[in-house]
Homo-oligomer: A and B are copies of this chain.
Amino acid sequence: MVSSLATRMDGVAHSVGAVEPRRAHFTTPLPLACGATLDTFELAYETYGTLNSDRSNAVLICHALNASHHVAGYYEEAPDKVGWWDNMVGPGKPLDTTRFFVVSVNNLGSCFGSSGPVSINPATGQPWGADFPLVTVEDWVDAQARLADYLGIGRWAAVMGGSLGGMQALCWAIRYPTQLSHALVIASAPKLSAENIAFNEVARQAILSDPDFFDGHYARQGMRPRRGLRLARMLGHITYLSDEQMEAKFGRQLREGLKFSFASEFQIESYLRYQGEKFAGYFDANTYLRITKALDYFDPAAAHDGDLSKALEDARCAFLIISFTTDWRFPSARSREIMRALIDNRRDVSYAEINAPHGHDAFLLDDAQYHATVRTYYERVAAELGEREGV
Contacts and interface: CB of A to CB of B under 8 A. Distances in A.
Given A191-B252, A197-B269, A268-B198, A34 B260 contact: yes
A234 interface: yes
A136 B296 CA distance: 39
Interface in A296-351: 296-297, 299, 302
B252 A198 contact: no
A258 B298 CA distance: 12
B297 A202 contact: no
Interface stretch (A166-174, A176-184, A205-213): A205-213
A103 interface: no
Contacts of A297: 258
A273 B211 contact: no
Contact of A194 (B35, B211, B252): B252
Interface string A132-154: 01100000000000000000000
Interface string A210-238: 11000000000000000100110011001
A251 B194 contact: yes
Given A197-B266, A247-B194, A260-B133, A231 B208 contact: no
Contacts of A302: 252
A280 to B, nearest CB: 11
A89 to B, nearest CB: 31
Interface string A250-275: 11100000101110111011001100
Oligomer: number of copies: 2
Contacts of A208: 262
A268 B231 contact: no
Contacts of A353: none
Q: Interface size for chain A: under 10, 10 to 19, 20 to 34, or 35 or more residues?
A: 35 or more
A75 to B, nearest CB: 33
Contacts of A264: 201
Q: Which of A191, A198, A299 has the most CB of B within 10 A?
A: A198
A33 B258 CA distance: 10
Interface in A1-40: 33-35
A209 B230 contact: yes
B252 A202 contact: no
B193 A205 contact: no
A256 to B, nearest CB: 15
Q: Which of A35, A262, A272, A296 has the most CB of B within 10 A?
A: A262
Interface of A: 33-35, 133-134, 191-195, 197-199, 201-202, 204-206, 208-211, 227, 230-231, 234-235, 238, 241, 243, 246-247, 249-252, 258, 260-262, 264-266, 268-269, 272-273, 276, 289, 293, 296-297, 299, 302
Given A193-B252, A194-B252, A202-B272, 4 more contacts: A193-B247, A195-B246, A201-B268, A211-B211
